[in-house]
Protein backbone atom coordinates (compact mmCIF):
# COMPACT_ATOMS: atom_id res chain seq x y z
CA UNK A 1 0.00 0.00 0.00
CA UNK A 2 1.19 3.53 -0.80
CA UNK A 3 1.54 6.28 1.80
CA UNK A 4 -1.32 8.31 0.24
CA UNK A 5 -3.64 5.28 0.16
CA UNK A 6 -2.82 4.33 3.74
CA UNK A 7 -3.66 7.85 4.91
CA UNK A 8 -6.96 7.87 2.99
CA UNK A 9 -7.85 4.49 4.43
CA UNK A 10 -7.11 5.60 8.01
CA UNK A 11 -9.00 8.86 7.51
CA UNK A 12 -12.10 6.90 6.50
CA UNK A 13 -11.77 4.73 9.62
CA UNK A 14 -11.65 7.82 11.82
CA UNK A 15 -14.89 9.16 10.41
CA UNK A 16 -16.18 10.08 13.91
CA UNK A 17 -13.13 12.21 14.72
CA UNK A 18 -13.12 15.89 13.84
CA UNK A 19 -9.40 15.64 13.18
CA UNK A 20 -9.40 12.44 11.08
CA UNK A 21 -6.78 13.56 8.57
CA UNK A 22 -4.45 14.95 11.20
CA UNK A 23 -4.80 11.80 13.33
CA UNK A 24 -3.99 9.62 10.31
CA UNK A 25 -0.93 11.70 9.44
CA UNK A 26 0.38 11.84 12.99
CA UNK A 27 0.04 8.09 13.51
CA UNK A 28 1.72 7.26 10.22
CA UNK A 29 4.54 9.68 11.03
CA UNK A 30 5.10 7.89 14.30
CA UNK A 31 5.34 4.53 12.49
CA UNK A 32 7.70 5.89 9.85
CA UNK A 33 9.56 8.09 12.35
CA UNK A 34 9.26 11.00 9.95
CA UNK A 35 7.92 14.56 9.83
CA UNK A 36 4.54 15.28 8.26
CA UNK A 37 6.15 16.91 5.23
CA UNK A 38 7.61 13.52 4.29
CA UNK A 39 4.11 12.07 3.77
CA UNK A 40 3.29 14.85 1.33
CA UNK A 41 6.64 14.71 -0.44
CA UNK A 42 6.50 10.95 -1.03
CA UNK A 43 2.79 10.02 -1.29
CA UNK A 44 3.65 7.30 -3.81
CA UNK A 45 6.18 5.54 -1.63
CA UNK A 46 5.22 1.98 -0.78
CA UNK A 47 4.87 1.01 2.89
CA UNK A 48 6.68 -2.08 4.11
CA UNK A 49 4.59 -4.89 5.59
CA UNK A 50 6.00 -4.14 9.03
CA UNK A 51 5.03 -0.47 8.80
CA UNK A 52 1.60 -1.32 7.49
CA UNK A 53 0.95 -3.77 10.29
CA UNK A 54 2.12 -1.25 12.94
CA UNK A 55 -0.09 1.41 11.34
CA UNK A 56 -3.09 -0.94 11.36
CA UNK A 57 -2.58 -1.67 15.06
CA UNK A 58 -2.58 2.05 15.83
CA UNK A 59 -5.69 2.60 13.69
CA UNK A 60 -7.55 -0.10 15.63
CA UNK A 61 -6.59 1.44 18.99
CA UNK A 62 -7.52 4.92 17.81
CA UNK A 63 -10.95 3.70 16.71
CA UNK A 64 -11.39 2.37 20.27
CA UNK A 65 -10.74 5.90 21.51
CA UNK A 66 -7.13 5.72 22.72
CA UNK A 67 -5.65 9.24 22.76
CA UNK A 68 -3.20 10.09 20.00
CA UNK A 69 -0.72 11.26 22.66
CA UNK A 70 -0.73 7.78 24.22
CA UNK A 71 -0.40 6.02 20.90
CA UNK A 72 2.62 8.05 19.84
CA UNK A 73 3.80 8.53 23.44
CA UNK A 74 4.38 12.23 23.02
CA UNK A 75 2.68 15.61 23.02
CA UNK A 76 3.82 19.10 22.12
CA UNK A 77 3.53 21.72 24.87
CA UNK A 78 5.02 25.22 24.77
CA UNK A 79 6.71 24.14 21.51
CA UNK A 80 8.52 21.42 23.45
CA UNK A 81 8.18 17.78 22.57
CA UNK A 82 7.27 15.86 25.70
CA UNK A 83 7.12 12.18 26.42
CA UNK A 84 3.68 11.11 27.69
CA UNK A 85 2.55 7.80 29.18
CA UNK A 86 -0.66 6.49 30.71
CA UNK A 87 0.77 7.46 34.12
CA UNK A 88 0.51 11.16 33.34
CA UNK A 89 -2.05 13.71 32.29
CA UNK A 90 -1.73 14.69 28.64
CA UNK A 91 -0.56 18.33 28.65
CA UNK A 92 -3.33 20.69 27.46
CA UNK A 93 -2.98 23.98 25.58
CA UNK A 94 -4.92 25.75 28.39
CA UNK A 95 -2.07 24.98 30.76
CA UNK A 96 0.14 27.27 28.68
CA UNK A 97 -1.84 30.14 30.29
CA UNK A 98 -0.41 29.01 33.64
CA UNK A 99 3.11 29.06 32.18
CA UNK A 100 2.55 32.54 30.67
CA UNK A 101 1.34 33.79 34.05
CA UNK A 102 4.45 32.40 35.74
CA UNK A 103 6.77 33.94 33.15
CA UNK A 104 5.12 37.32 33.71
CA UNK A 105 6.09 37.06 37.37
CA UNK A 106 9.52 35.41 37.12
CA UNK A 107 12.14 37.86 35.86
CA UNK A 108 14.83 36.62 33.48
CA UNK A 109 17.61 38.19 35.52
CA UNK A 110 16.79 37.01 39.09
CA UNK A 111 17.20 33.50 40.49
CA UNK A 112 13.68 32.92 41.88
CA UNK A 113 12.75 29.68 43.61
CA UNK A 114 9.70 27.83 42.32
CA UNK A 115 7.75 24.84 43.58
CA UNK A 116 5.50 22.92 41.22
CA UNK A 117 3.02 20.51 42.80
CA UNK A 118 1.81 17.52 40.75
CA UNK A 119 4.16 17.88 37.82
CA UNK A 120 3.01 14.85 35.76
CA UNK A 121 4.98 14.98 32.49
CA UNK A 122 6.92 17.92 33.90
CA UNK A 123 5.35 20.18 31.26
CA UNK A 124 4.93 23.30 33.42
CA UNK A 125 8.34 23.18 35.12
CA UNK A 126 10.10 22.31 31.88
CA UNK A 127 8.43 25.17 30.01
CA UNK A 128 9.37 27.65 32.76
CA UNK A 129 12.90 26.26 33.11
CA UNK A 130 13.52 26.50 29.39
CA UNK A 131 12.60 30.21 29.37
CA UNK A 132 14.03 31.15 32.78
CA UNK A 133 17.47 29.60 33.15
CA UNK A 134 18.13 31.21 36.53
CA UNK A 135 14.95 29.86 38.14
CA UNK A 136 15.52 27.13 40.70
CA UNK A 137 12.62 24.75 40.40
CA UNK A 138 11.45 21.89 42.61
CA UNK A 139 8.82 19.72 40.93
CA UNK A 140 6.89 17.07 42.83
CA UNK A 141 4.48 14.28 42.07
CA UNK A 142 2.92 11.58 44.21
CA UNK A 143 3.50 8.98 41.51
CA UNK A 144 6.97 7.56 40.92
CA UNK A 145 6.04 6.51 37.37
CA UNK A 146 5.00 10.08 36.52
CA UNK A 147 8.20 11.51 38.00
CA UNK A 148 10.23 9.14 35.83
CA UNK A 149 8.51 10.59 32.76
CA UNK A 150 9.15 14.15 33.98
CA UNK A 151 12.82 13.39 34.68
CA UNK A 152 13.23 11.92 31.19
CA UNK A 153 11.58 15.00 29.68
CA UNK A 154 13.81 17.41 31.60
CA UNK A 155 16.83 15.39 30.49
CA UNK A 156 15.82 15.36 26.85
CA UNK A 157 15.58 19.16 26.95
CA UNK A 158 18.92 19.39 28.77
CA UNK A 159 17.52 21.23 31.75
CA UNK A 160 19.36 20.92 35.01
CA UNK A 161 17.62 23.60 37.06
CA UNK A 162 14.72 21.32 38.11
CA UNK A 163 14.89 19.00 41.11
CA UNK A 164 12.26 16.27 41.13
CA UNK A 165 10.82 14.84 44.35
CA UNK A 166 8.14 12.32 45.26
CA UNK A 167 5.57 14.04 47.45
CA UNK A 168 1.89 14.26 48.23
CA UNK A 169 1.25 18.02 47.96
CA UNK A 170 3.05 19.65 50.92
CA UNK A 171 4.25 16.42 52.43
CA UNK A 172 7.66 17.27 50.97
CA UNK A 173 9.83 17.03 54.08
CA UNK A 174 11.23 20.32 52.94
CA UNK A 175 12.28 23.32 54.94
CA UNK A 176 12.61 25.59 51.91
CA UNK A 177 10.22 28.38 51.08
CA UNK A 178 9.51 29.59 47.57
CA UNK A 179 8.90 32.77 45.58
CA UNK A 180 6.28 31.05 43.47
CA UNK A 181 4.17 27.93 43.89
CA UNK A 182 2.41 26.63 40.81
CA UNK A 183 0.06 23.73 40.16
CA UNK A 184 -2.39 22.20 37.73
CA UNK A 185 -3.96 19.84 40.27
CA UNK A 186 -6.90 17.49 39.71
CA UNK A 187 -10.05 19.63 39.66
CA UNK A 188 -12.84 17.63 38.06
CA UNK A 189 -15.96 16.62 40.05
CA UNK A 190 -16.26 12.90 40.60
CA UNK A 191 -19.58 12.68 38.73
CA UNK A 192 -18.70 14.99 35.83
CA UNK A 193 -20.09 13.31 32.67
CA UNK A 194 -17.13 14.68 30.69
CA UNK A 195 -15.00 11.99 32.39
CA UNK A 196 -16.71 9.43 30.19
CA UNK A 197 -15.83 11.11 26.88
CA UNK A 198 -12.77 11.40 24.66
CA UNK A 199 -9.13 11.22 25.74
CA UNK A 200 -9.89 11.81 29.40
CA UNK A 201 -11.24 8.21 29.77
CA UNK A 202 -7.68 6.96 29.31
CA UNK A 203 -5.91 9.38 31.65
CA UNK A 204 -5.15 8.63 35.32
CA UNK A 205 -8.09 9.48 37.58
CA UNK A 206 -5.62 10.57 40.23
CA UNK A 207 -4.63 13.48 37.96
CA UNK A 208 -8.19 14.49 37.17
CA UNK A 209 -10.71 13.90 39.93
CA UNK A 210 -10.82 15.83 43.18
CA UNK A 211 -13.88 15.07 45.25
CA UNK A 212 -17.52 16.01 44.86
CA UNK A 213 -16.90 19.55 43.63
CA UNK A 214 -13.44 19.11 42.17
CA UNK A 215 -12.09 21.42 44.86
CA UNK A 216 -10.47 19.12 47.43
CA UNK A 217 -6.90 19.40 46.15
CA UNK A 218 -7.15 23.09 45.25
CA UNK A 219 -8.27 23.67 48.84
CA UNK A 220 -5.32 21.74 50.31
CA UNK A 221 -2.88 23.67 48.11
CA UNK A 222 -4.32 27.10 48.91
CA UNK A 223 -4.06 26.42 52.65
CA UNK A 224 -0.71 24.60 52.54
CA UNK A 225 1.06 27.12 50.29
CA UNK A 226 0.87 29.79 53.00
CA UNK A 227 3.61 27.99 54.95
CA UNK A 228 5.84 27.58 51.92
CA UNK A 229 5.65 30.99 50.26
CA UNK A 230 8.18 33.72 50.86
CA UNK A 231 6.83 37.17 51.69
CA UNK A 232 5.29 38.59 48.50
CA UNK A 233 5.48 35.14 46.86
CA UNK A 234 2.83 34.06 44.38
CA UNK A 235 0.45 31.11 44.16
CA UNK A 236 -0.68 30.22 40.62
CA UNK A 237 -3.39 27.63 40.10
CA UNK A 238 -5.13 26.12 37.12
CA UNK A 239 -8.78 25.22 37.77
CA UNK A 240 -12.05 24.34 36.09
CA UNK A 241 -13.79 27.03 34.06
CA UNK A 242 -16.67 27.19 36.56
CA UNK A 243 -14.38 27.40 39.61
CA UNK A 244 -12.95 30.92 39.20
CA UNK A 245 -15.29 32.61 41.65
CA UNK A 246 -14.93 30.02 44.40
CA UNK A 247 -11.13 29.93 44.03
CA UNK A 248 -10.90 33.72 44.28
CA UNK A 249 -13.04 33.53 47.42
CA UNK A 250 -10.87 30.75 48.90
CA UNK A 251 -7.75 32.83 48.22
CA UNK A 252 -9.38 35.82 49.88
CA UNK A 253 -10.56 33.79 52.91
CA UNK A 254 -6.98 32.58 53.32
CA UNK A 255 -5.57 36.13 53.32
CA UNK A 256 -3.94 36.16 49.92
CA UNK A 257 -3.94 39.51 48.14
CA UNK A 258 -3.58 40.80 44.56
CA UNK A 259 -6.05 38.08 43.52
CA UNK A 260 -7.00 37.71 39.87
CA UNK A 261 -8.27 35.16 37.37
CA UNK A 262 -6.99 34.69 33.82
CA UNK A 263 -9.07 33.35 30.95
CA UNK A 264 -8.08 30.55 28.58
CA UNK A 265 -8.21 30.59 24.77
CA UNK A 266 -11.97 29.90 24.93
CA UNK A 267 -12.41 32.96 27.17
CA UNK A 268 -13.19 30.80 30.21
CA UNK A 269 -11.80 31.27 33.73
CA UNK A 270 -8.80 28.93 33.93
CA UNK A 271 -6.00 30.24 36.15
CA UNK A 272 -6.22 32.13 39.43
CA UNK A 273 -3.41 33.93 41.17
CA UNK A 274 -2.83 35.26 44.64
CA UNK A 275 0.08 36.89 46.44
CA UNK A 276 1.21 36.07 49.97
CA UNK A 277 2.06 39.43 51.51
CA UNK A 278 1.89 38.50 55.20
Determine the size of the site formed for ligand GLN (CB under 6 A).
10
Among 200, 220, 223, 262, indicate the residue that binds ligand GLN (CB under 6 A).
200
| Least distance in angstroms from the C-beta of 11 to ligand GLN | 26
Site mask for ligand GLN (CB under 6 A), range 42-71, x = bound: ------------------------------
In sequence order, what are the residues at sequence separation of 6 or more whose Cβ sits closer than 8 angstroms to the Cβ of residue 74?
81, 82, 83, 84
Nearest alpha carbon to residue 72 among 58, 93, 92: 58
Give 155's contacts (C-beta < 8 A, 6+ positions apart): none
Gap between the Cα atoms of 241 and 243, Å rounded: 6
Q: Is 208 in the site for ligand GLN (CB under 6 A)?
A: yes
**Residue 269 pairs with which residues in a beta bridge?**
263
**Is residue 243 near ligand GLN by the rule CB under 6 A?**
no
CB of residue 124 to ligand GLN, shortest distance in Å: 11
Q: Which of residues 47 and 236 has its CB atom nearest to ligand GLN in the complex?
A: 236
d(CA 63, CA 86): 18
Residue span binding ligand GLN (CB under 6 A) among the ranges 100-108, 183-191, 224-232, 251-259? 183-191
Residues 235 and 225: their CA atoms lie apart, in Å, by 7
Shortest distance, CB of residue 150 to ligand GLN, whole angstroms? Answer: 15
- The alpha carbon of 84 is separated from its chain's Cα centroid by a whole number of angstroms, namely 9
Please, which residues bridge with residue 237 across strands? 183, 272
Residues 88-127 that bind ligand GLN (CB under 6 A): 89, 92, 94
Judged by CB under 6 A, the stretch of 14-22, 72-80, 185-193, 249-257 that binds ligand GLN is: 185-193
Is residue 218 close enough to count as binding ligand GLN by CB under 6 A?
Answer: no
**Can you tell me whether residue 181 is helix, strand or coil?**
strand
Compute the least distance from the CB of residue 13 to ligand GLN, in Å: 25
Among 184, 243, 261, 272, binds ligand GLN (CB under 6 A): 184
Q: DSSP string spanning 116-165?
A: EES-TTSHHHHHHHHH-TT-EEEEEES-HHHHHHHHHHHHHTT--SEEEE
Q: Are 262 and 90 in contact (CB under 8 A)?
A: no
The residue from 67, 91, 122, 186 that contacts ligand GLN (CB under 6 A) is 186
Q: Which stretch binds ligand GLN (CB under 6 A): 61-69, 160-168, 179-187, 218-226?
A: 179-187
Of 179 and 264, CB closest to ligand GLN: 264
Cα–Cα distance for residue pair 15/18, rounded to 1 Å: 8
Q: Which region among 73-81, 166-174, 178-186, 224-232 touches ligand GLN (by CB under 6 A)?
A: 178-186
Footprint on this chain of ligand GLN (rule: CB under 6 A): 89, 92, 94, 184-188, 200, 208
Amino acid sequence: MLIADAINYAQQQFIKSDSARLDADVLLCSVLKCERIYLYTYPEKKLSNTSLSSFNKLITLRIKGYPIAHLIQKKEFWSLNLKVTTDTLIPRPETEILVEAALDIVPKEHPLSILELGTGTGAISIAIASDRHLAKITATDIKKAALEVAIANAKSHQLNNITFKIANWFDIKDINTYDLIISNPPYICIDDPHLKKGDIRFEPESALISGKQGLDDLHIIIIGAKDYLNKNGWLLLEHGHQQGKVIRQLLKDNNYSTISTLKDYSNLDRVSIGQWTS
